[in-house]
Amino acid sequence: MNKTKINKVVLAYSGGLDTSIIVKWLQDTYQCEVVTFTADIGQGEEVEPARAKAKAAGVEEIYIEDLREEFARDFVFPMFRANAIYEGEYLLGTSIARPLISKRLVEIANKVGADAISHGATGKGNDQVRFELNAYALDADIQVIAPWREWDLSSRESLMDYAQKHGIEIDYQKQNKKSPYSMDANLLHISYEGDILEDPWAEPEDDMWRWTVSPENAPDKAEYVELTYSKGDIVAINGQAMSPASVMEDLNQRAGAHGIGRDDIVENRFVGMKSRGCYETPAGTVMLKAHRAMESLTLDREAAHLKDELMPKYANMVYNGFWFAPEREMLQAAIDQTQTVVNGVVRLKFYKGNVIVVGRQSDNSLFSEKIATFEDDQGAYDQKDAAGFIKLNALRLRLKSL
């Protein structure tokens, strides 16, 4: 096969089996220099060991970056202002991480003078689309190398054979103990696919879950938590100011301890197939519930309803890889404008897998107890006005029934 001449490529690198093999494969196939980029976006595992593995593979330029705050502040929080959820269930944990990784791949490629970027996403999944669409949106001329679409390695066994043949050091003891699931983790979620989950009828094994206890084993005593909002974003927990990443880390721990955030979904991938995946999203589950509670008190009815109508479009854009597309940016500007009044405190109760809203207050509240009361409102609302309101709205219905 004729290969485009590549002198240098930046690889999204985890140090695991797949990307360790990709380093060698790129070096041999393209006769090029490989630069590795490893992002810490809150996956909960040490990223520094990737440095030693990359060096052992002959990599001289190695980038390891802590992007947790940028991820939470510039990607997750804006998405939750939209209350984005895909197909009614998926909180977009993997989807929202890809634009940031693509952004840094392109920036590093430009910095080091690389000809291309590369990733380890397979040719069956959504991630290849997300990585590449987001990259092209930032650099129209960037070249992308996707080894899974080029090589003839098609299974875990073939990858292990390749590693052994080419002297790629793999921690075999760790590999033998590795989870049978394909997993992806960041501050927002951890996902599980593969193995028994490929049967939509099979119940996930309880020891699969990493961040949450089962609701059956959660504490018998509820925990109350107060979240403070400013312009649609959580800025404090129980009165203690926190950064976006710290908010998510705290909520992951608190909610996970109460069995909150598990989901088992069959979803429609952008490439066309259905896939079954399980997700743990403790912080995200809380954030969605609490944000909607805060908006219920502060947003005008029509603004709130229009947001709900636009949300599925926004969620599809994130899921399909169009974060940097003009239509997502246009919607984000409209959404952010609505959030100027989304300020206040939401009180929640965590109990055995449930997030229960038990209170909300705001200086921007549109709720009027004087008008809404079932008691004497002292003339604040004239109930006689409702008769004309009903007749006008019934006019077309009455005409139809004649």
169 is in an annotated binding site: no
The tokens for 391 are 């007749």
127 is in an annotated binding site: yes
Cβ atoms < 10 Å from Cβ of 402: 4
From the list 68, 98, 262, 360, the catalytic residue is: 98
Identify whether 182 is a catalytic site residue. Answer: yes
Contact in structure between 128 and 164 (CB atoms under 8 Å): no
From the list 40, 104, 115, 127, the catalytic residue is: 127
Widest distance between CA atoms in the chain: 86
30 is in an annotated binding site: no
73 is in an annotated binding site: no
122 is in an annotated binding site: yes
Cβ atoms < 10 Å from Cβ of 182: 14
13 is in an annotated binding site: yes
Residue by residue, DSSP assigns 152-217 as S--SHHHHHHHHHHTT----HHHHHHS-SSEEEE-SS-EEEESGGGGSTTSPPPGGG-SS---GGG
14 is in an annotated binding site: yes
CA distance 386 to 241: 45
Sign, Cα dihedral of 281, 287, 293, 295: negative
Identify whether 127 is a catalytic site residue. Answer: yes
279 is in an annotated binding site: yes
Sign, Cα dihedral of 350, 352, 358, 361: positive
From the list 182, 246, 362, 365, the catalytic residue is: 182
CA distance 378 to 81: 38
157 is in an annotated binding site: no
12 is in an annotated binding site: yes
199 is in an annotated binding site: no
From the list 18, 40, 115, 233, the catalytic residue is: 18
126 is in an annotated binding site: yes
CA distance 345 to 227: 5
17 is in an annotated binding site: yes
230 is in an annotated binding site: no
Binding residues for ATP: 12-20, 39, 120
Report the binding-site residues.
12-20, 39, 90, 95, 120, 122, 126-127, 130, 182, 191, 267, 279
- Annotated binding site for L-aspartate: which residue ranges? 122, 126-127
Residue positions forming the annotated binding site for L-citrulline: 90, 95, 126, 130, 182, 191, 267, 279
Catalytic positions are 18, 98, 127, 182
